[in-house]
A = this chain, B = another copy of it.
Amino acid sequence: MLEQIEQPLQIVSSWNAYQAACPTRLMLNRIADKWTVLVLGLLENETKRFSTLQREIGGISQKMLTQTLRGLERDGLIARTVYPEVPPRVEYKITPLGNTLVGLLAALRDWSETHMDEVLQAQRDYDQAQQAASNPEAASGVRVVRF
């Protein structure tokens, strides 16, 4: 049952994303893609159709959705099934490999949504500090005291 497939003399390589040429860099690129995060999130629990995905992801173009789905399929993270009907129906579902990743991406999405306020505040502070630095007392005669 679990008979091992003969391995073609594999070099046991330990990947390292800090190496410029490491393929994990490409992987990070895909994982880190905003559309990837959103698409995999929707497929986490259920199989979905192309049009459904496009409807549920605000602002994604047909081209980018196709491109993202193709990439994910190629990487083995999702599976694409075509039903030979008229009109055609195509369904996408997550693979076991994809399932090992989807939790991490959900965590990223959650982090973004949870900490968005803090980040927005930090941005305001930063921009204000920049403004003050380049324009010491321009805005008004009021001295801004930070503490």
Contacts and interface: CB of A to CB of B under 8 A. Distances in A.
Contacts of A19: 58
A100 B122 CA distance: 15
Interface residues of A, number: 56
A97 B46 CA distance: 33
Number of copies: 2
Q: Is the interface of A mostly helix, strand, loop or mixed?
A: helix
Contacts of A118: 76, 97
A46 B101 CA distance: 28
Given A24-B109, A29-B34, A57 B121 contact: no
B31 A31 contact: no
Contacts of A115: 27, 97, 100-101
